[in-house]
Every structure is written in C-alpha cells, then in structure tokens.
C-alpha cells in the first residue's frame, strides 16, 4: 500500500478511454521526509539519496480551468515549472484525471 491518496490506481482506466489533453506544472514540492537511498554504502547521510515529488498542475477543459496534483516517484525526473505534461480525463467528469509520467524517465 502506498502513501494515502497518492499512489491509488483508481483513475488508470482513463488511459485507454479518456481524452488526452496537456496540463502545465505550476508548483513542485519535494517530499524531504521520504528519502530513498540508492547506494548500499554511503560516505555521508545524503550520499545517493533521492526524493520523490508532488507536482501541482492546471489544465483546461473548454473554457474552464481545473487544478490537480500527482505524486511522482523518485525513479522519474521531476518536471520543471511551466513544463507541459500529458493527462487523460474523463469527458463526463473532468475533475477525474490520470497523469502519464512515463515520459519523465531518468537517463
């Protein structure tokens, strides 16, 4: 079980049936309390540490603006503020969305 509310897969069905739109990242928060150690041996406590992020974004459906947020695991790079991201939305209820962040793979 993941962090409460962030890693739910309840909206994953929109990827196949939903309408694809673009959103714009407006704020990024780093989850400093969730340190992920990537090295088995470290020289100091921050050596090899990575942190997940929570991104806040906005998207438009018609003339109306909606806001959303998404937990991005530390294995993906964090998008920059102002960067476009891909979303899938439910056409009947645009407040339900699914963020496609596989394109944010680290090199």
Spatial distance between the Cα atoms of 71 and 6, rounded to a whole number of angstroms = 6
pLDDT tens by residue, 9-60: 554 555 556 788 989 999 999 888 888 877 777 787 777 788 888 999 999 9
Contacts of 81 (CB under 8 A, 6+ apart): 25, 26, 27, 28
Q: Is 35 exposed, middle or buried (0-12, 13-18, 19+ CB in 10 A)?
A: middle
- pTM of the prediction? 0.73
How far does the chain reach from its first CA to its final CA, in angstroms? 28
| In contact, 18 and 88? CB cutoff 8 Å | yes
Please write the tens of the pLDDT for every residue from 43-102: 877 777 888 889 999 999 989 999 999 988 888 888 889 999 888 888 888 888 888 876
Distance, in Å, from the CA atom of 44 to the CA atom of 32, rounded to the nearest integer, reads 16
Q: Where are the domains of the chain?
A: 14-104
């Amino acid at each position: 079980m993941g962090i409460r509310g962030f890693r739910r897969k309840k909206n994953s069905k929109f990827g196949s049936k939903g309408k694809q739109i673009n959103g714009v990242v407006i704020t990024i928060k780093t989850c400093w309390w969730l340190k992920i150690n990537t090295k088995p041996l470290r020289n100091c406590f921050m050596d090899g540490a990575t942190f997940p992020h929570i991104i806040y974004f906005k998207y438009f459906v018609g003339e109306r603006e909606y806001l959303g947020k998404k937990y991005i695991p530390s294995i993906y790079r964090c998008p920059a503020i102002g960067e476009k991201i891909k979303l899938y939305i439910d056409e009947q209820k645009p407040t339900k969305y699914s963020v496609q962040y596989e394109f944010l793979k680290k090199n």
